[in-house]
């Protein structure tokens, strides 16, 4: 699942995975899991992180490779946050060679709408929960809601520029494939979810 910051990738990936009984695989989540579990790749990742460096493609690809080989991913999975580079995308093609088609869904949202979404977003200062519009306190822990520094309009626009430079090339990498679909993310969440389900079903049938 592709899309710029604020497009709703995480929300939609979680929802699709839950409704279709497949795991959602987030590189951030499995990287933290690998570090906590002390796996060989996790220990290597911790060394890189502790040194203040970014975790490179080789480690990320290795962690994803381990995760998608688990039994719960045998019938499919939803990737959130991977791939981020052309190199990761090429590696993914090799990892899933012989499996079901890779369906690539790009969630499209106009920049102005993304800025409005993100700059108005508030999160819990205690647990980090993201609040929907209109809430004054965290529904999880009752903590105060705050605006994150990286959700100011200027910072949001910079994040979108970085996305366009570094990650949007993936859209062009996948666009020519018959399994590529784009959906309108500038609509209600239920409508976006329905469009994503239809997009996947149009490639593999049955929404799986």
Rounded CA gap, 144 and 91, in Å?
42
Among residues 51, 47, 15, the alpha carbon closest in space to that of 34 is found at 47
Three-class SS state of 180:
strand
Angle between helices 86-95 and 57-68 (to 10 degrees): 30
Cβ(129)–Cβ(123) under 8 Å? yes
What is the tens place of the pLDDT at every residue in 120-141?
778 888 887 877 767 888 988 9
Q: Is 18 assigned a catalytic role?
A: no
Three-class SS state of 22:
coil
- The reported pLDDT for the residue numbered 108 is 95
Q: Is 9 assigned a catalytic role?
A: yes
What stretches of 69-183 show up as alpha helix (H) in DSSP? 86-95, 111-119, 153-166, 169-175
Cα Rg, the chain, nearest whole Å: 18
- The reported pLDDT for the residue numbered 25 is 92
Q: Is 121 assigned a catalytic role?
A: yes
Choose, from 15, 24, 67, 159, the residue flagged as catalytic.
159
Q: Which range is least confidently modeled, 21-30, 95-104, 135-144, 149-158?
A: 149-158
* Mean confidence (pLDDT) of the chain: 88
Q: Could you tell me the domains of the chain?
A: 9-23+70-204 (3.40.50.300)
Three-class SS state of 137:
strand
Choose, from 15, 18, 24, 84, the residue flagged as catalytic.
84
- The reported pLDDT for the residue numbered 45 is 83
Q: Is 43 assigned a catalytic role?
A: no
Choose, from 9, 15, 117, 181, the residue flagged as catalytic.
9
Q: Is the model's pLDDT at 163 over the cut of 90? A: no
What is the tens place of the pLDDT at every residue in 183-202?
999 999 999 999 999 999 99
- Phi-psi map region of 177: left, alpha, beta (phi>0 left; psi -120 to 50 alpha): beta
């Amino acid at each position: 699942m592709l899309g710029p910051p604020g497009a709703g990738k995480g929300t939609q990936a979680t929802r699709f995975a839950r409704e279709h009984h497949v795991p959602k695989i987030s590189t951030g989540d499995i990287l933290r899991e690998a570090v906590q579990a002390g796996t060989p790749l996790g220990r290597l990742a911790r060394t890189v992180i502790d040194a203040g460096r970014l975790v490179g493609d080789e480690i990320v690809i290795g962690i994803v490779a381990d995760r998608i080989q688990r039994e719960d991913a045998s019938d499919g999975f939803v990737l959130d946050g991977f791939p981020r580079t052309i190199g990761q995308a090429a590696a993914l093609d090799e990892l899933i060679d012989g499996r079901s088609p890779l369906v690539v869904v790009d969630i499209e949202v106009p920049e102005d709408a993304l800025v409005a979404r993100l700059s108005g977003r508030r999160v819990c200062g205690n647990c980090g929960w993201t609040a929907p519009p209109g809430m004054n306190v965290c529904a999880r822990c009752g903590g105060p809601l705050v605006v994150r520094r990286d959700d100011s309009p200027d910072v949001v626009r910079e994040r979108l520029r970085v996305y366009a430079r570094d990650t949007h090339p993936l859209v062009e990498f996948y666009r020519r494939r018959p399994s590529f679909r784009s959906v309108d993310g500038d609509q209600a969440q239920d409508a976006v979810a329905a469009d994503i389900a239809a997009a996947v079903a149009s490639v593999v049938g049955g929404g799986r």
